Structure 1
Amino acid sequence: MPVAPAKRTTGSGRNRPPLALQRIARCVVPMGLIAAVLLEPAQFVEAASEPSREDRPNVIVILTDDMGYADLGATGSDQILTPNIDRLMSDGVNFTNAYVTASVCCPSRAGLLTGRYQQRFGHEFNNFSIPAEGFTSDDMGLSVDERTIGNAFQDAGYTTMCVGKWHMGGGEKFDPSRRGFDEVFAIEAGHRSYWPYTGKAKRSNRIQISATEFLPEDRVTYLTDDLTNAAVDFIDRHREDPFFMYLAYNAPHGPMHGKEADKEFYDSITDPKRQTYAAMMKALDEGIGEVRRSLIDNKIDKRTLIIFTNDNGGATSNGSDNGPYRGMKGSKWEGGVRVPFSLTWPGRLPDGADYDSPVSTLDILPTSLAAAEISYRGLPLDGVNLLPYLENGETGLPHDMLFWRRGVAAAVRAGQWKLIRVEGNPDLLFNLEADPSERSNVAPKHPEKVAMLKERLAQWESELAPPKWTEGEKWSRNQVLKHQMRVQTRRQERQYP
């Protein structure tokens, strides 16, 4: 078996209403390029020999937001308790070298949703701030030329839902209800209050429940609970349908809002921000537990693939902890781009197993489609179907190289080697097998390796589109500063968000 068998010790409802809102009132988710057939651009179709409706698996992608790598029991935390996430990961395959495509929210999600490096379609920066030359504010969002994982499942006859943080641009053409999702319970912006707004809330911060409707603020309880309720409601209503759900929790992204009872549970934590962060993680963990229980109660857990991951490393502003990994959200250090990642599919994938080769959230789309036996036809993917490596004994690396770039900072990983290239800084090279915390720059000792990796990085960059928007000088300056070897401690890292 290609995955290590040892157990880990660490921890048809399309015509129904978009959401049963009464439930929400209660407090209760080219290197390494895979082959693609180029027909009509970006189209998804069902497999020629479609499995029976009863055999078609459901797929749920659960994405957390700004969570620290080491803030799960499964990844080493003995301070924050996450029994439901730990069980989810131990019931499936844990990927110990998993990466996002960007160390900030918006471009990371664009890569996940499309299975393509987001820089290929100009989605390089996080904040929709300054249109680049030749573009306007109307271009600042997920390109309409790209098709999403929601489109793929929707085109194959699945009922689809987007729950939680969208952050793919404002306006009608970027709306999740027009990007492959039959039902929505989504937030356009990158964050919002976890509590109801008492005054007039911005449209982008409100919870969208259809193409034109928003949840009244007096129906908001606590955001994490409301997202969980929306997810459970969807599962209950579509238990007999094959469904796909993108469950993108905002937690533990700021603002730092925790329920008082959950903060009291962590009264031993003296740092107020860390205590609130732990409380937010408690609600998140309980929500994921409720989602799994709903699958069991509806007797569909064994035909549901759950993919769990995080959108980037822990943020500088939320009290998170990336453990042994240097850097935080926004950086090309491991702490910025390395994330927990697991696939859980009872009876189909091994449980309690680790897979150690580098993988990417780019792989979520092709792996999900393969699980559902949906053929992909369209723009070439950068993601890889991981199932043959887990089920069929396929050897070799899913990716020979992984790449990152946001403005002045770029990086590439090839096997155990990782190069970080930042304008104005010396080239940095690390052997991650010997130095996972990236403390020893070995570039002077391996000039040939630096040259090779820079060449491959430049080759990848030659395939990319120009960015459609930028963020401004402050963010570029912080990229340069945070990638200097002198920035060693968490306190220093937090100076450069």
Structure 2
Amino acid sequence: MYKKIAIKASVVILVLLSVNNSWGQQIETIEKPNIVVFLCDDLGYGDLSSYGHPFIKTPNIDKLAETGIKMTNFYSAAPVCSPSRVGLLTGRSPNRAGVYDFIPGPKKSEDLRDQVHLQKGEETLPAMLKTVGYETALVGKWHCSSLFNNPAQPQPDYFGFDHWYATHNNASPSHQNPKNFVRNGEKVGQQEGFSCQLVVDEAMSWLDNRKGDNPFYLQVTFHEPHEPVASPEDLVQEYLPYSNGLAEAEFFANVANVDKAVGRLLDYLKENGADNTIVIFTSDNGPETFTRYPGAKRTFGQTGGLKGRKLWTTEAGIRVPGIVNWIGKPMFNGTTDAVVSALDFLPTLAEITGAQLPNRELDGESFLPLLKTGKFKRSTPLLWGFYNALNEHKVAMRHGDYKILARLKNEGEYLPQIMNVYEGNETLIKSSQLTDFELYNLMEDQAESVNLIDEKPELFIQMKSLLKTEYNSLLEGSHIWVKSE
């Protein structure tokens, strides 16, 4: 018998409610909400039925969107996993934390990638929420340190997670019967089942066994649909008639299995009294490229008409599904084209819970007005400096309806792909110039097909100037890795 989830936090926050149950001018006190963040791995913008996939059925996630807020201009912090996760946790560009690309295992390399990890000086979302009484847990993928489950680098508990059940990177040997999970520093060993379901099992077990009645923050970081893909046979058979062979059916079934896992946890919350819970669903980056590496043989994610894929600074690399639903409380309900980022979770949840923001420069901003009224216009641009981009333009900025991209050139040569910024290439990167600009109106041209530089010269000058200012500021604040003694 599941323990009822108590929602009896003694500390309250002020929110605005109107007489007709929409957000308005009447002040009412409510208890701090529980918070659940679902984060998929390599789920593309077009991989959910609510975002246009013609075959994959995702009824549980779709219902979240239907009864909450579906965001059509939602962005990850980076076009690849590790920096994206670091951005979500810190509310800061991952460049500031020195996480520029995915973090490999501890193999020595000239560019010091073996040292890369989320460092002790970083302040995170779960740590912030703990200061106002939250209990916290991470279940699923971590991928924020090169030395996983090693005291040489801080682990999830250091960054505010009371409980963690995680892997360094992918579920191994696949999503089925993984053997590389660690629970609070102890290896779990091989388990039976599929990763997303095991992760939800752990989440429900943690909720059952919590000792207090405090609100909770639960971060559910699925491995799916990242390779190595493995899916339940009954779902694979269900999708075979709609696919071009077994491999694609396995991918379709993989996303459908995630939806079932989400549904199980949402049913649990409903059955156990969580009637004041903010649920967020999103992805760490866009869909993988089919056969980009030998193991990527079931990477059939869809972009929804966006340009590029994972590891690109064009839209398909960074624009992902974004859904918010405040279960049990009045909020705006509908689809929005407001520009929102995973960087915004930390400041938004700080404002909702009354937590004090970290004393660091943040790149996100609160989108609480979106929950209140359905309207939100961010005041600062979104900027990406991804030096290992597969496309030519390593720098991109979204501001309002427009996006500007730029290449980097140094002494007449374009910068090669760079996986880390360290003392050996700091000068090269910081002395490079932004060049070969492209400008797009994403409200009219989400495929980034019509470069507007010549058509809108005044706007181009303004956007170029803003990009240079924002990028120079990011360079000044970026962490540079130095060889440790």
Q: Give the 4+ runs in structure 1 shifted more than 4 A.
A: 46-51, 129-133, 466-470
Deviation sequence 1:168-213 (CA, Å, 0-9, x none): 012333311222111011111245321336xxx7xxxx111112x0
In structure 2, the CA distance between the partners of 1:455 and 1:47, relative to structure 1 (3 Å rule), is farther
What code does the residue aligned with 1:405 have? G
1:92 equivalent in alignment to 2:102: no
- How far the C-alpha of 1:69 sits from its partner, in A, is 1.1
Which of 287, 290, 304 is residue 264 of structure 2 equivalent to? 290
1:154–1:180 contact (8 Å) kept in structure 2 = yes
1:441-480 paired onto structure 2 within 5 Å: 441-464=451-474, 465-466=477-478, 468=480
Give 2:197's aligned residue: 225
CA distance in 2, matches of 1:136, 1:403: 23
Structure 1 residues 344-353 or 412-421, which shifts more?
344-353
Deviation sequence 1:395-437 (CA, Å, 0-9, x none): 6612441111111601011112111112348322111122111
Which of 22, 26, 33 is residue 57 of structure 1 equivalent to? 33
Give 1:245's aligned residue: 218
1:368 equivalent in alignment to 2:368: no
CA distance in 2, matches of 1:275, 1:93: 29
CA distance in 2, matches of 1:271, 1:427: 41
- How far the C-alpha of 1:389 sits from its partner, in A, is 3.4
CA distance in 2, matches of 1:446, 1:407: 28
TM (normalized to structure 1)?
0.77
Matched position secondary structure for 1:444: coil
2:118–2:144 contact (8 Å) kept in structure 1 = yes
Matched position secondary structure for 2:327: coil
Which of 254, 258, 261 is residue 280 of structure 1 equivalent to? 254
What code does the residue aligned with 1:83 have? P
CA distance in 2, matches of 1:136, 1:266: 40
- How far the C-alpha of 1:392 sits from its partner, in A, is 5.7
Give 2:405's aligned residue: 420
Which of 166, 172, 186 is residue 166 of structure 2 equivalent to? 186
Give 1:196's aligned residue: 177
Give 2:369's aligned residue: 388
Matched position secondary structure for 1:162: strand
CA distance in 1, matches of 2:102, 2:469: 24
5+ residue gaps, structure 2, are 4-8, 15-28, 291-298, 389-393, 409-413, 415-434
In structure 2, the CA distance between the partners of 1:455 and 1:131, relative to structure 1 (3 Å rule), is farther
CA distance in 1, matches of 2:248, 2:142: 26
What code does the residue aligned with 1:413 have? R
In structure 2, the CA distance between the partners of 1:450 and 1:351, relative to structure 1 (3 Å rule), is closer
Deviation sequence 1:358-382 (CA, Å, 0-9, x none): 1111111121222222222411322
Give 2:428's aligned residue: none
In structure 2, the CA distance between the partners of 1:132 and 1:455, relative to structure 1 (3 Å rule), is farther
- How far the C-alpha of 1:109 sits from its partner, in A, is 0.8
Which of 401, 409, 430 is residue 381 of structure 2 equivalent to? 401
2:288–2:309 contact (8 Å) kept in structure 1 = yes
Matched position secondary structure for 1:390: helix
Give 2:51's aligned residue: 75
Give 1:435's aligned residue: 445
1:90–1:351 contact (8 Å) kept in structure 2 = no
CA distance in 1, matches of 2:82, 2:114: 16
In structure 2, the CA distance between the partners of 1:387 and 1:267, relative to structure 1 (3 Å rule), is same
1:307 equivalent in alignment to 2:280: yes
What code does the residue aligned with 1:254 have? E
2:383–2:471 contact (8 Å) kept in structure 1 = no
What code does the residue aligned with 1:227 have? V
Deviation sequence 1:269-321 (CA, Å, 0-9, x none): 12333211111111100000001001011011x21111111111111131101
What code does the residue aligned with 1:260 have? E
1:94–1:342 contact (8 Å) kept in structure 2 = yes
Matched position secondary structure for 2:256: helix
Matched position secondary structure for 2:197: helix
Deviation sequence 1:223-254 (CA, Å, 0-9, x none): 11101111122223348431111111111011
What code does the residue aligned with 2:399 have? A
CA distance in 1, matches of 2:74, 2:362: 18
2:332–2:372 contact (8 Å) kept in structure 1 = no
What code does the residue aligned with 2:284 have? D
CA distance in 2, matches of 1:160, 1:91: 26
Give 2:318's aligned residue: 337
Higher relative contact order (CA 8 A, sep 6+): 1
1:344–1:351 contact (8 Å) kept in structure 2 = no
What code does the residue aligned with 1:298 have? N
CA distance in 1, matches of 2:108, 2:451: 35
- How far the C-alpha of 1:466 sits from its partner, in A, is 4.4
- How far the C-alpha of 1:149 sits from its partner, in A, is 0.9
CA RMSD of aligned residues (A): 2.8
What code does the residue aligned with 2:269 have? L
What code does the residue aligned with 2:101 have? F
1:62–1:309 contact (8 Å) kept in structure 2 = yes
5+ residue gaps, structure 1, are 1-12, 14-45, 471-497
Give 1:263's aligned residue: 236
1:25-174 paired onto structure 2 within 5 Å: 55-128=31-104, 137-138=114-115, 140-169=116-145, 170=147, 171-172=150-151, 173-174=153-154
In structure 2, the CA distance between the partners of 1:458 and 1:181, relative to structure 1 (3 Å rule), is same
What code does the residue aligned with 2:125 have? I
CA distance in 2, matches of 1:54, 1:294: 22
Give 2:289's aligned residue: 316
What code does the residue aligned with 2:439 have? L
What code does the residue aligned with 2:258 have? L
CA distance in 2, matches of 1:240, 1:48: 12
